[in-house]
């Protein structure tokens, strides 16, 4: 058996290639949208990808099932409960598929979504102990899938939480303790609240360490898994729906159109948004007026999808050579409306000084001074609710960065405003968004809340 896990750090997403080297038959599970790595690895191992298996309709990324099916002729497989609008194969609960020696067993495990399923992997038909189980978003390392995302129309949060409890206890925890656990996500994903940085575990380890599996009762479990979940990025609903539809295929080798500043201006005048993918530090030193800063060095697609409408055209502003990366990373969440990328960005900034703006970034001490001196200062904490439980800057209001576009009316554009997050990435995103929306005096805090705590405690 060939078993390979792929981990996409910027989306905390795990996908899998499983192949039978005796028969040359293989499957890919929960693929990302740009599929070159699966094709290359399958070819190198002499494998033919025959099935693309989705554990559920993903909300946090646009899956590559259509791209893989088009490239290989593979069947797209979902739980028998799922009804996507494209041709697919329905897998029944308990159904087994042989790849040769390797056997896959499908278990319906609803809860995160109604159509969720898990895949138990056996190295041979005679094996009595499974090699492992691919749990999708049903069971994570240290957590379980959240039942509250609005991808499950027709079911309440409590109904799904109850189904999740039954799936975990009746379908997954019945597997031998030595069974390896391979989830679809790791730490950082908004699909749960307590995901581990570990990418694999065992059923036995999860029974003893996973807070949700250790819940003393069904009611306690339901209360635990529905409380304190991070806010879901606004693009989640868009992706959950799009993953069920026929759509355009991604050409991951196609560069975005090269735009002059004049061409970019025309697109922006028509409603396109200018997204600057450089670091917060580079952005602060000089950027085009009206640009929103979402750095490629961070969780680029996630935060772009949190603050940019899914139906907006996008003009990219990135360092030369990063245009394709920026386009493809947006495509991973289905944001395909990239009209182009501004060419020779350094020259554009140098030759258009009247269009260039600097961003105010404050040290934690400078922030404290401003807080003390300005009576009507407006302080916004853009961390998630779970992060602010440990404390907030006095007089600050908590609006997670992904909720800012919908909650701007809670803020006064005429007041001096300071934004902070945990470290400085999200605050640059948020501050640039506020400037783009007409806030005139906006700063963010270098080092975020951690730096502020250190400065305050040492004073």
Residues with catalytic annotation? 421
Please answer whether residues 23 and 34 qualify as being in contact, where contact means their C-beta atoms are separated by less than 8 angstroms: no
Handedness of CA 96, 102, 108, 113 (dihedral sign): negative
Contacts of 350 (CB under 8 A, 6+ apart): none
CA-to-CA distance for 163 and 83, rounded, in angstroms? 19
CA-to-CA distance for 441 and 407, rounded, in angstroms? 18
Phi, psi of 151 (to 5 degrees): -100, 0
- In the chain, the largest separation of any two C-alpha atoms, in whole Å, equals 75
**Of 50, 19, 17, 22, whose CA–CA distance to 35 is shortest?**
17
CA-to-CA distance for 60 and 240, rounded, in angstroms? 8
CA-to-CA distance for 243 and 60, rounded, in angstroms? 10
The encoded tokens of residue 187 equal 């730490």
Identify the H or E element spanning 71: helix 65-72
CA-to-CA distance for 192 and 147, rounded, in angstroms? 9
Q: Which residue reads 């730490």 in tokens? A: 187
Identify the H or E element spanning 452: helix 448-458
Please answer whether residues 174 and 204 qualify as being in contact, where contact means their C-beta atoms are separated by less than 8 angstroms: no
Handedness of CA 19, 180, 5, 384 (dihedral sign): positive
- Looking at beta carbons, which pairs linking 395-399 to residues 24 or more positions away fall under 8 Å? 395/371, 396/420
Contacts of 85 (CB under 8 A, 6+ apart): 244, 245, 246
The residue count for the chain: 459
CA-to-CA distance for 286 and 283, rounded, in angstroms? 5
**Of 37, 36, 2, whose CA–CA distance to 19 is shortest?**
2
| CA 170 vs CA 109, 162, 180: distances in Å | 9, 12, 17
The DSSP call for residue 84 is -
Residue 233 region by backbone torsions, left for phi larger than 0, else alpha for psi between -120 and 50, else beta: beta
């Amino acid at each position: 058996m060939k078993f390979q896990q792929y981990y996409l750090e910027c989306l905390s997403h795990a996908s899998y290639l499983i192949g039978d080297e005796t028969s040359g038959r293989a499957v890919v599970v929960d693929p990302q949208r740009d599929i070159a790595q699966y094709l290359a690895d399958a070819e190198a191992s002499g494998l033919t990808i025959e099935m693309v298996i989705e554990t559920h309709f993903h909300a946090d990324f646009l899956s590559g099932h259509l791209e893989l099916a088009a490239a290989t002729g593979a069947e797209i497989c979902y739980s028998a409960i799922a009804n996507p609008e494209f041709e697919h194969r329905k897998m029944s609960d308990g159904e087994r598929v042989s790849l040769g020696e390797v056997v896959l067993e499908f278990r319906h495990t609803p809860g995160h979504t109604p159509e969720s399923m898990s895949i138990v992997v056996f190295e041979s038909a005679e094996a009595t102990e499974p090699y492992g189980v691919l749990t999708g978003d049903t069971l994570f390392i240290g957590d379980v899938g959240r039942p509250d995302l609005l991808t499950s129309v027709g079911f309440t949060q409590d109904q799904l939480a109850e189904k999740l409890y039954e799936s975990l206890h009746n379908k997954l925890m019945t597997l031998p303790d030595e069974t390896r656990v391979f989830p679809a996500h790791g730490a950082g994903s908004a699909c749960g609240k307590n995901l581990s940085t570990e990418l694999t575990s065992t059923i036995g380890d999860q029974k003893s360490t996973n807070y949700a599996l250790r819940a003393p009762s069904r009611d306690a479990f339901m209360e635990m898994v529905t409380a304190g979940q991070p806010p879901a990025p606004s693009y989640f609903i868009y992706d959950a729906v799009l993953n069920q539809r026929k759509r355009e295929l991604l050409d991951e080798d196609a560069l975005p159109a090269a735009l002059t500043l004049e061409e970019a201006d025309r697109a922006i005048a028509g409603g396109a948004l200018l997204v600057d993918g450089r670091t917060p530090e580079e952005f602060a030193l000089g950027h085009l007026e009206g640009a929103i800063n979402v750095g490629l060095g961070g969780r680029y697609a996630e935060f772009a999808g949190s603050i940019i409408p899914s139906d907006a055209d996008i003009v990219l502003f990135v360092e030369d050579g990063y245009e394709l990366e920026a386009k493809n990373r947006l495509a991973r969440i289905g944001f395909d409306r990239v009209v182009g990328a501004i060419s020779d960005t350094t020259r554009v900034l140098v030759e258009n000084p009247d269009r260039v703006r600097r961003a105010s970034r404050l040290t934690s001490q400078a922030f404290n001074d401003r807080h003390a001196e300005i009576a009507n200062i407006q302080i916004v904490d853009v961390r998630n609710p779970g992060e602010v439980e440990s404390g907030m800057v006095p007089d600050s209001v908590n609006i997670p960065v992904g909720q800012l576009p919908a909650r701007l009316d809670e803020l006064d554009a005429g007041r001096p405003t300071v934004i902070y997050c945990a470290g400085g990435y999200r605050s640059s995103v948020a501050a640039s968004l506020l400037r783009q929306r007409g806030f005139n005096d906006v700063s963010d805090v270098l080092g975020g809340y951690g730096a502020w705590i250190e400065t305050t405690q040492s004073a």
